[in-house]
Structure 1
Amino acid sequence: MRKALPQLQRGLNARHIRFIALGSAIGTGLFYGSASAIQMAGPAVLLAYLIGGIAVFIVMRALGEMAVHLPIVGSFGSYARQYLGPLAGFITGWTYAFEMIIVCLADVTAFGIYMGLWFPDVPQWIWVLGVIFLIGALNLLHVRVFGEMEFWLSLVKVVAIIAMIVAGGAILIFGSGGHFVSSGFDNLWMHGGFAPNGISGVIASLTIVMFAFGGIEIIGITASEAKDPTKVIPRAINTIPMRILLFYVLTLLVLMSLSPWNTIGQAGSPFVEIFSSLGISSAANILNLIVITAAISAINSDIFGAGRMMYGMAKEGMAPKSFLRIASNGVPWMTVVVMAGTLLVGVVLNYLIPESVFLVIASIAAFATIWVWLMILLSQFSMRRGMTKEQMKQLKFPIPWWPIAPALTIVFMLFVLAMLGYFANTRAALFVGLGWIIMLTIVYYVKIKGKVDVVTPELLYKEDLSSD
């Protein structure tokens, strides 16, 4: 008989989960990183976001199929262990935690850059240090309080994006506004064409595009703390296509229609540039506050996701047992402390290389993100192969277009990983990522193999239910 372990609490409803996913996936990658993607591909970056968005939707449907079937702590880390083997589970879980740390480093870096608009004489690293302590405190709150706070933080940036689309659309339709003179959509092809850097530019931009989508898989992590995962998870996942069209494609379409693509992002966030050019005196300050809120929201969600993943791995013997320590309010406080402590690396990086740290971090995060998505797809593929036709028919949220869609998405993910090594400015990220995988493999065989608790997802699921 296994000793009963401390449990998380089911305190997240559908509204919380939808906005936690928004908080993680709509942050620095859109508000700041989109400028880098635009410079690589020009207006054709819209194609990269569409193609990447389709791939991400298939990944999330694969995860959704497993999460609704077995909504457990550890989510895709546990699924990888069960369906691909203990080594795959170990690498997947720790790579996700690594991904969240790297994404958080990018977000805290962007936070420091945003604060530079108001306080140009204050060193960037000071703001990074301050936001780390703030987010650490937020993640020690009860999960219901956390979910409510994330809802409001995410709502701010959703409203801001919609306002930008409406204001920009009005200028495009009705005429000039501030520094803009309406030219319809001519800016999409007037400055070197729709794809000024050719297909290679579109491919190169996929790194930043996939980084921007990174974190959306947190929907699977929230399943173990959702009040009714069989209903709220499918609803959250099925809204992904509309979110991608609205928050990425339509937003960037308006941005690049209002301003030539080769001028976007030259002075910080492209959103701040656009609003300040509208002639509204306080627009830059208002939007800077919004993108700061977006960064805090994304960091908040990422620390939540990484902490829950490490907690789930500790339950299976793949992480230190100290990660199982839970406060009286149901929060795994040790994982929050570890995440916040690790983020202090960002303080050092922002002190040493404040100008170039963002692109380096974003590329490494893209590797980790794509690796995790690959493991999700392969886990779902393996789960299906072990099922009878009758069992497949009983799935409550089956992936569409099986098996063609997941197979094509796996090929796409492998292609993007290969392209990291093809382009010189992202090659280092591939080497760092492969080095990370090799290191985890060595650690597994030296420290973990033979010591992993034999716990099936079904048993973990029963334990979680017993705590409700």
Structure 2
Amino acid sequence: MKSKSVQQNDDGTLRALSNRHVQMIAIGGTIGTGLFLGSGSTISKTGPSVILVYLVLGGVFYLMMRAMGEMFYADPSQHTFVSFISKYLGHTVGHFTGWTYWIGLVFVCMAELTAIAGYVQYWFPKLPAWTIELGFLAILMGVNLIAARLFGETEFWFAMIKIFAILAMIATGIFMVLVDFKTPLGHASFNNIFHNFTLTPKGGYNFISAFPMDFFAFLGIEFISITVGEAKNPRTIIKKAVNETIMRILLFYICSLGIIMCIIPWTSLSASSSPFVQVFDLAGFPAAASVINFVVLTSAASSINSGIFSAGRHFYQIATEVDPDSLMGRTFGKISSNGVPAAAILLSAGCMLITPLLSLTATLASAFSFIVSVCCDMYLIVYSLAMVAHRRYRVSDDFLPDGFKMPFYKVTNTATIAFFVVIFISLFFIPQDAIAATGAICWTLLFGVVNWWHGRKTSQARSVE
């Protein structure tokens, strides 16, 4: 039973998410295993220049969120940014974006589910992976089915664990610098960052390739926009979340990476292990590996939790845009009595049940990894379409002159789209990414051909009638 203080939307969803929920969902959705595990690889390739890479990427994502935030401020009743793509770019483009984004969410969640099994097996190596995956999926699906507020509360504490780990590492690092802590690699010092500094220490190729590599560390930042439709005081929250969250994320990334390079000279940093574990090991904390394993476990669970929430809302959005009398419209275009799109959540989580089958053969596992890479590349297309939709919004009758406006949108919107295009093109010059980028283009063309064929058949049927 819903609280009297919780407002109900016209479609039956409830505005149960508070500002603290939305803020932590945004931070937690972006700070993931890429920072805790993968940042060592980036630092080893770019050195201190990695800070510049994150500054540029943070700025671009801030502009993207300002564009999305402006549209949601004008119409906070929408559940996903895809609804604006449908509204301003047409039903076909919106349909493509909705399906593409939903499929991407499902596969990314499946990848995280696979990772969770590995994290748990770190402590319990004999526990079958499929039982771990089913157990986590069942729990997180249940969290999403009960109520949006429970999802928000769960995400809040998941995010708190990640933030606590980052702050603990930063505090440890600062202490080591202040006391001139001596490690087998030398003395901890701020000078380690600038010693023999060059912008491209391992060549221009490694520096440029760091942008697409670190770009994917920011995937998920748009989750804050997806929570707006179920947030209390949505217009106040969206402004606060967009303006403050990106700065907090940059603070966490830049401070943590800077402290890591103060403790461990970047030339001595191992690219194959977590830099957080390396720092805590040097500080004399023997349980570092287990603690960071727990943090990345909760980080992966957080990603799945947010993914199920988002995938359910996106599939619900797709279902509301088809014929309401169709099987899909009748089944998935409805909200349950407790204010969530239960059928859409069940379908999305149900598709993730395929995950335990992927470990059966190496061929399936390789194919799955390829599909995940394709889905990640598709986000670049989805983000670009959202920016184009924003341009259409600015010249539409819906535009609010006194709204939460994107600054200098004619320049900043164009620059953001151009950046996404450049990142996508750069993928073709990176051997391990070129095939997946080609797959993303093939998916786009295939969807267009199928949609054209379906439209042609529908027109022919109507002409016969």
What TM-score, normalized by structure 1, do the two folds share?
Answer: 0.86
The sequence identity of aligned pairs, in percent, is: 34
Q: For residues 148 and 284 of structure 2, what CA distance do their matches in structure 1 show?
A: 42
Corresponding residue of 1:324:
333
Corresponding residue of 1:296:
301
Say whether the 8 Å CA contact 1:36–1:208 is kept in structure 2.
Answer: no
Cα offset, 1:264, TM superposition: 4.5
Q: What are the superposed Cα offsets for residues 27-83 of structure 1, whole Å, 9 maximum, x if unpaired?
A: 223223333433443332222211111110000000000001012334321111111
Please list, as runs of the form range in 1=range in 2, the aligned pairs for 1:242-391 lying within 5 A after superposition: 242-261=247-266, 264=269, 266=271, 268-317=273-322, 320-321=328-329, 322-353=331-362, 360=370, 363-387=373-397, 391=399
The correspondence for 1:393, drawn from 396, 401, 418, is 401
Cα offset, 1:142, TM superposition: 0.8
Instruction: Say if 1:146 and 1:195 are closer, same or farther in 2 by CA, change over 3 A.
Output: same
Count of aligned positions:
445
Q: What are the superposed Cα offsets for residues 226-250 of structure 1, whole Å, 9 maximum, x if unpaired?
A: 1211111110000133223222121
Letter of the 1:136 counterpart: M
Instruction: Say if 1:447 and 1:129 are closer, same or farther in 2 by CA, change over 3 A.
Output: farther
Cα offset, 1:407, TM superposition: 0.8
Q: For residues 207 and 256 of structure 1, what CA distance do their matches in structure 2 show?
A: 22
Say whether the 8 Å CA contact 1:90–1:444 is kept in structure 2.
Answer: no
Q: For residues 437 and 140 of structure 1, what CA distance do their matches in structure 2 show?
A: 32
Corresponding residue of 1:445:
452
Structure 2 residue runs of 5 or longer lacking an equivalent are 1-8, 459-465
What TM-score, normalized by structure 2, do the two folds share?
Answer: 0.86
Aligned: 1:418 with 2:425: yes
Q: For residues 352 and 109 of structure 1, what CA distance do their matches in structure 2 show?
A: 14
Please list, as runs of the form range in 1=range in 2, the aligned pairs for 1:153-164 lying within 5 A after superposition: 153-164=158-169
Aligned: 1:407 with 2:414: yes
Cα offset, 1:282, TM superposition: 2.6
Q: For residues 78 and 336 of structure 1, what CA distance do their matches in structure 2 show?
A: 18
The correspondence for 2:189, drawn from 166, 181, 184, is 184
Instruction: Say if 1:256 and 1:323 are closer, same or farther in 2 by CA, change over 3 A.
Output: farther
Instruction: Say if 1:324 and 1:392 are closer, same or farther in 2 by CA, change over 3 A.
Output: closer
Q: For residues 379 and 424 of structure 1, what CA distance do their matches in structure 2 show?
A: 32
Residue 451 of structure 2 aligns to a residue whose secondary structure is: helix
Q: For residues 107 and 26 of structure 1, what CA distance do their matches in structure 2 show?
A: 14
Instruction: Say if 1:193 and 1:117 are closer, same or farther in 2 by CA, change over 3 A.
Output: farther
Say whether the 8 Å CA contact 2:80–2:225 is kept in structure 1.
Answer: yes
The correspondence for 1:27, drawn from 32, 51, 76, is 32
Residue 32 of structure 1 aligns to a residue whose secondary structure is: helix
Q: What are the superposed Cα offsets for residues 402-421 of structure 1, whole Å, 9 maximum, x if unpaired?
A: 21111111111000010111
- Give the RMSD, CA atoms, in angstroms: 3.0
Q: What are the superposed Cα offsets for residues 128-168 of structure 1, whole Å, 9 maximum, x if unpaired?
A: 44432332222222111111121111111112111111111
Q: For residues 439 and 188 of structure 1, what CA distance do their matches in structure 2 show?
A: 48
Letter of the 2:222 counterpart: E
Say whether the 8 Å CA contact 2:173–2:259 is kept in structure 1.
Answer: yes
Q: For residues 404 and 448 of structure 2, what CA distance do their matches in structure 1 show?
A: 33
Instruction: Say if 1:265 and 1:153 are closer, same or farther in 2 by CA, change over 3 A.
Output: farther
Stretch moving more, 257-266 or 5-14 = 257-266
Corresponding residue of 1:104:
109
Corresponding residue of 1:233:
238
Residue 248 of structure 1 aligns to a residue whose secondary structure is: helix
Corresponding residue of 2:205:
200
Instruction: Say if 1:351 and 1:168 are closer, same or farther in 2 by CA, change over 3 A.
Output: farther
Q: What are the superposed Cα offsets for residues 173-222 of structure 1, whole Å, 9 maximum, x if unpaired?
A: 32226666434245446689553322321221222312111111112211
User: Highest Rg: 1 or 2?
Assistant: 2
